[in-house]
Amino acid sequence: MSALVTIETPIKGMDCAECTEHVRRAIAGLSGVASVEVFLAAEKAVIRLDPSRVELSAIREAVAAAGYSVPETAPSGAKSQPDLGRRMDFLLAGLFVVVLLAVIVGEGLAVFASVNAAIPLPIGLIAVLAAGFPVFRNVARAARRGQIIAHTLMTLGVIAALTVGQWVTALLVVGFMRVGDYVERFATDHARRAIRDLSALAPQTARVERDGREMEMPIAAVRPGDLVIVRPGEQIPVDGEVVAGQATVDQAAITGEGLPVEAGPAAHVYAATFVRLGHLRIRAARVGPETTFGRVIRLVEEAEAQRAHVQQIADRFAAWYLPIVAGLAGLTFLLRGDPLATAAVLVVACSCSFALATPIAMVASIAAGARRGLLIKGGRYLELLARADVVLIDKTGTVTLGKPQVTDVVAAPDCRWPPDEPDMARHDPRSAVLRLAASAERYSEHPVAEAVRAAAQARRLPLADPLDFRALPGLGVQALVEGKRVTVGNRRLLDASGLTGPASPDPREGAAVSQEHEARGLQAAAFTDAVTALEREGKTLLFVAADGDLLGVIAVADTLREDAPAAVAALRDLGVRHIELLTGDHERAAATMAAALAVPYRAGLLPEDKIRIVREYQAAGHTVVMIGDGINDAPALAQADVGIAMATGGSDIAIEAAPVALMRPDWMLAPALLRMARRTMRVVKINLAFAALYNVVGLSLAALGFLPPVLAAAAQSLPDLGILGNSARLLRDRG
């Protein structure tokens, strides 16, 4: 038995959506290959294979046999690929229009017919063969594999024109066929450029200190653990921790946020960000593709795997398209007996406009989104976002800063505990409660746990190491601290542990009333009042118990994110019908936050309750978006149609947690995302409508004999150009 590995290899020569399928089949056919994914815009294949059974050379041969190629060396980033400048684009588009007009005029004045008559046919034939050689070769290759490609039909059209001796027509058709290829390649390349622009931001070199010497090296040579030095104005080449220095860092490459942040010792910094002022010495933790930025690029490159539903439909249609056109051409010939009209039908069809319509717009949007802090892992999610009508919001860490502070600590009245720590308990029972709670919370990653630890640290309380730590999602934690079974959590956990909260009367109160007991009763009442007051203020209460005794209550308050109310209002303005706050926190805390957002809420939820609520909305036919921080709401994010994780701490967890990540905790990104999704889908719909209209009109005119083959050939690039121009808007718009 042997292990499967995943490799990635660039693929060259894919110009059309059907190409990815050819390459996929070629590679998948090799034995030892478990699975293949081929990405058109990223020009690459991701292959899971058994390295003992298949070698790269075999893959290279298979790809070559299919008519594509695996370059010898991987292209290194953007620079190796020459880009046609924008001015060049305009020039070529202008030239195209001029030629088009010339052809229309020429056809009108019957210039071609007289040329046709003046020059003998054999010479014309040679010209046609020479001009169309690469196309005919591709058609022949495809035919050998039993495939019919778009060019196959056009070649038939050329042959039809030649049968009636119209070699000038055939020559022009061939010429436009090649112009069409160019336009198509250009359109595909345009989508690629968006991704390439993104990868161009990846760092190439690093200055590393080894054995006391500084040296500049390519990024591939840097290892985790290396000490990296970054000077003012330079790019941070790795993800890592600052060990020395102080600097302002521009993190726009990752978060899309222009405002720089301060970074000093112990700060986490990210590859592809820039040091504006100051110096940093950084201990590399992750390098190259492992870095946050590396993962962003990979996710954008592979986003096309998550196809939108409209694209699946378009693809399914594209598969039927060629047979339909062939049938229509046959019908035209049978009914009208006109080889030229038949040729026009065969030529006017360009199956690629359908195939291009969706992916070009999607790739443009996804790449543009990544640059402004919106990481979208597939066109599918843009489509779902565009029609989302229910938005569910997780409270802690998402609408709140997620950095709750301990505001109050109240010790229970008969806090006889801890007997083995009499001093501390006598002098400061509240510190004892806090210390015990912080010890139990030591390994919890919940924001409230961090608050408790921070409060303990601020009072310099020495923490104990908990044993048998257990996190109870949505409830709290349990652990063995210094031999005591300690529970820290919400009222629900308190009830579940069979403990009585301060709201209920103390059972011991019923005993004989001595002076001492009376005093304790009064204390108990004061305790209950204090806790009730805290709860009424909307604070989160953590009940701390040890070995079955309630020791005290810690109140924690979180601050609302400033921009959350405005963002929620913006979502509502965008027409999202239902927005709701879901939280595991108690009623009052939820009510306070929900009131600030002006949305309904449900409180006291366990993680599985949140999943159930998402499912209920889905069952009622809604498209549900769930926004969370990805830390403790991952299951609900996964259940929603689109889970959006907001990067709160570092940019790390959110990236993997959900189909969409907001790379900085900026609530305004949420409405921006929805707007972008809708704009993308509008562009996609226009693209598809355009392709459909073109085909219906073009095919009808051709079949009826109103469209001479020359003009049919000239027109076949129009939908591609239209789609390209329409989709390019998505790269520019930033609204």
Rg (CA), the chain: 33
Pick between residue 226 and residue 633 the one whose CB is nearest to Mg ion: 633
Q: Which helix (H) or strand (E) holds 480?
A: strand 476-481
Pick between residue 301 and residue 394 the one whose CB is nearest to Mg ion: 394
Residue 639 beta carbon to ligand ADP: minimum distance, rounded to whole angstroms: 15
Q: Which helix (H) or strand (E) holds 283?
A: strand 274-286
Backbone phi, then psi, for 214, in 5-degree steps?
Answer: -90, 135
Pick between residue 383 and residue 394 the one whose CB is nearest to ligand ADP: 394
* The one among 379, 413, 584, 698 contacting ligand ADP by CB under 6 A: 584
Asked if residue 607 has a cis previous peptide bond (ω within 30° of 0), the answer is no
Residue 76 beta carbon to ligand ADP: minimum distance, rounded to whole angstroms: 44
Stretch touching ligand ADP by CB under 6 A, among 153-161, 245-253, 475-483, 659-667: 475-483
* The one among 152, 235, 431, 444 contacting ligand ADP by CB under 6 A: 444
477 binds, among Mg ion, ligand ADP, none (CB under 5 to 8 A by kind): ligand ADP
Under the criterion CB under 6 A, does residue 724 sit at the interface with ligand ADP?
Answer: no
Q: How many other C-beta atoms are found inside a 10 Å radius of the C-beta of residue 562? A: 10
Residue 255 beta carbon to Mg ion: minimum distance, rounded to whole angstroms: 21
* The one among 632, 680, 717, 727 contacting Mg ion by CB under 5 A: 632
Find tokens 């769930």 and name the residue: 626
Q: Which of residues 664-723 bind ligand ADP (CB under 6 A)?
A: none
453 binds, among Mg ion, ligand ADP, none (CB under 5 to 8 A by kind): none
Rounded to whole angstroms, the Cα distance separating 412 from 502 reads: 8
Q: Which of residues 340-399 bind ligand ADP (CB under 6 A)?
A: 394-396
Order across the sheet with 44-49: list the strands. Answer: 5-10, 44-49, 33-39
449 binds, among Mg ion, ligand ADP, none (CB under 5 to 8 A by kind): ligand ADP
Under the criterion CB under 5 A, does residue 540 sit at the interface with Mg ion?
Answer: no
Opening angle at CA 203, ends 216 and 232, nearest 5 = 70
Opening angle at CA 266, ends 265 and 269, nearest 5 = 95
Under the criterion CB under 6 A, does residue 487 sit at the interface with ligand ADP?
Answer: no
Let me know: does 486 contact 440? Beta carbons within 8 Å.
yes
Is 394 an active-site residue? Answer: yes
Pick between residue 384 and residue 448 the one whose CB is nearest to ligand ADP: 448
Backbone phi, then psi, for 487, in 5-degree steps?
Answer: -125, 130
Pick between residue 490 and residue 680 the one whose CB is nearest to ligand ADP: 490
43 binds, among Mg ion, ligand ADP, none (CB under 5 to 8 A by kind): none
Under the criterion CB under 6 A, does residue 585 sit at the interface with ligand ADP?
Answer: yes
Residue 607 beta carbon to Mg ion: minimum distance, rounded to whole angstroms: 9
The 595-614 site mask, x for binding ligand ADP (CB under 6 A), equals: --------------------
Under the criterion CB under 6 A, does residue 448 sit at the interface with ligand ADP?
Answer: yes
Which residues touch 723 (CB under 8 Å, ≥6 apart)? 187, 353, 356, 357, 360, 361, 687, 690, 691
Let me know: does 671 contact 567? Beta carbons within 8 Å.
yes
Rounded to whole angstroms, the Cα distance separating 38 from 45 reads: 4
β-pair partners for 624: 390
Pick between residue 24 and residue 395 the one whose CB is nearest to ligand ADP: 395
Rounded to whole angstroms, the Cα distance separating 68 from 59 reads: 11
Pick between residue 41 and residue 449 the one whose CB is nearest to ligand ADP: 449
Pick between residue 37 and residue 394 the one whose CB is nearest to Mg ion: 394
Distances (CA, A) of 549 to 119, 359, 423, 494, 508: 106, 62, 19, 10, 13
Under the criterion CB under 5 A, does residue 169 sit at the interface with Mg ion?
Answer: no
* The one among 152, 291, 306, 396 contacting Mg ion by CB under 5 A: 396
Let me know: does 564 contact 579? Beta carbons within 8 Å.
no
Rounded to whole angstroms, the Cα distance separating 194 from 309 reads: 23
Cα dihedral sign for 525, 526, 530, 536? Answer: positive
Residue 624 beta carbon to ligand ADP: minimum distance, rounded to whole angstroms: 16
Encoded tokens for 492: 């629900």
Query: What is the DSSP-derived secondary structure letter of residue 120?
Result: -
Under the criterion CB under 6 A, does residue 632 sit at the interface with ligand ADP?
Answer: yes
Pick between residue 344 and residue 637 the one whose CB is nearest to Mg ion: 637
Closest CA to 243 of 227, 262, 260, 220: 227
Let me know: does 569 contact 581? Beta carbons within 8 Å.
no
Stretch touching ligand ADP by CB under 6 A, among 105-113, 408-416, 453-461, 472-480: 472-480
Q: Which of residues 488-507 bind ligand ADP (CB under 6 A)?
A: 488-490
Stretch touching ligand ADP by CB under 6 A, among 171-179, 251-259, 351-359, 441-449: 441-449
Query: What is the DSSP-derived secondary structure letter of residue 87?
Result: H
Under the criterion CB under 6 A, does residue 476 sit at the interface with ligand ADP?
Answer: yes
Encoded tokens for 54: 């298949």
SS (H, E, C) 182-242: HHHHHHHHHHHHHHHHHHCCCCCEEEEEECCEEEEEEHHHCCCCCEEEECCCCECCCEEEE
Stretch touching ligand ADP by CB under 6 A, among 423-431, 446-454, 459-467, 723-731: 446-454
* The one among 294, 474, 552, 709 contacting ligand ADP by CB under 6 A: 474
What beta strand segments (E) does 547-654 contain?
Answer: 549-557, 578-582, 601-602, 624-628, 642-646
Number of residues that bind ligand ADP (CB under 6 A): 21
Residue 261 beta carbon to Mg ion: minimum distance, rounded to whole angstroms: 24
Number of residues assigned to the chain: 735
Pick between residue 250 and residue 633 the one whose CB is nearest to ligand ADP: 633
Find tokens 């399928």 and name the residue: 21
Rounded to whole angstroms, the Cα distance separating 24 from 315 reads: 15
Residue 583 beta carbon to ligand ADP: minimum distance, rounded to whole angstroms: 4
Which residues touch 393 (CB under 8 Å, ≥6 apart)? 399, 568, 579, 580, 581, 582, 597, 599, 626, 627, 628
Stretch touching ligand ADP by CB under 6 A, among 76-84, 120-128, 280-288, 445-453: 445-453
540 binds, among Mg ion, ligand ADP, none (CB under 5 to 8 A by kind): ligand ADP
* The one among 542, 655, 657, 672 contacting ligand ADP by CB under 6 A: 542
Residue 565 beta carbon to Mg ion: minimum distance, rounded to whole angstroms: 19
Residue 504 beta carbon to ligand ADP: minimum distance, rounded to whole angstroms: 19
* The one among 230, 308, 477, 567 contacting ligand ADP by CB under 6 A: 477
Q: Which residue is nearest to ligand ADP (CB)?
A: 584
Pick between residue 199 and residue 648 the one whose CB is nearest to ligand ADP: 648
Indicate the SS3 state at residue 473: coil
Under the criterion CB under 6 A, does residue 449 sit at the interface with ligand ADP?
Answer: yes
Stretch touching Mg ion by CB under 5 A, among 79-87, 220-228, 629-637, 663-671: 629-637
Under the criterion CB under 6 A, does residue 475 sit at the interface with ligand ADP?
Answer: yes
From the candidates 226, 239, 250, 394, give the one annotated as an active-site residue.
394
Q: Which helix (H) or strand (E) holds 325?
A: helix 309-336
Find tokens 């000490």 and name the residue: 227
Under the criterion CB under 5 A, does residue 648 sit at the interface with Mg ion?
Answer: no
Rounded to whole angstroms, the Cα distance separating 44 from 64 reads: 14
* The one among 446, 561, 588, 679 contacting ligand ADP by CB under 6 A: 446
Q: Which residues bind ligand ADP (CB under 6 A)?
A: 394-396, 441, 444, 446, 448-449, 474-477, 488-490, 540, 542, 583-585, 632
- In the complex, which residues of this chain contact Mg ion (CB under 5 A)? 394, 396, 632-633
- As annotated, the active-site residues are 394
